[in-house]
Amino acid sequence: MTTPQTPTLDNQLCFALYSASNAVIRLYRPLLEPFDLTYPQFLVMLALWQADNVPLKALSQRTRLDPGTITPIVKRLEAKGLLTRQSDADDERVKRVALTDAGRAIQAPLFEAHRCLYESMNPDKAALESLRQQCLGLLDQINRRLEP
């Protein structure tokens, strides 16, 4: 029978994931700075470039940002002129989020900057894809455990 390891900072999976997440966000900061975007704002823009004019709730689910977090992000992006929020024509309680022309205009240059950053790291694409799949699998396990 094995006994659980004594918890230390260095043997915690959650700390390794947290540290890796922070490192990735720091890596993205210089890429996003010329566009005046934070990493969470970038996630919202990515989601809208994939599916535009969506309910705020759907955007929250897609980005995995809770409503209390996504609302201020959307408001800041709206203030920057990158998107709009409007009431749904069929249900005024539902707010829809849509890209503006300015929001669409930064997609290509931002994607090019992202490509250059990615290529400069000389990534092992297969290893990164495997890691991404493992992270998504872990996320699914955690979400199932959190379900009521």
How is 35-46 classified by DSSP, letter by letter?
Answer: GT--HHHHHHHH
- Say whether domain 37-146 belongs to CATH 1.10.10.10: yes
Contact in structure between 87 and 95 (CB atoms under 8 Å): yes
pLDDT truncated to tens, each residue of the chain (148 aa)?
A: 455 678 898 889 999 999 999 998 999 999 999 999 999 999 999 999 999 999 999 999 999 999 999 999 999 999 999 999 999 888 989 999 999 999 999 999 999 988 988 888 777 888 888 988 999 999 999 999 998 8
Contact in structure between 77 and 97 (CB atoms under 8 Å): no
The residue type of 18 is Y
Ordered by start, the domain boundaries in the chain are 37-146
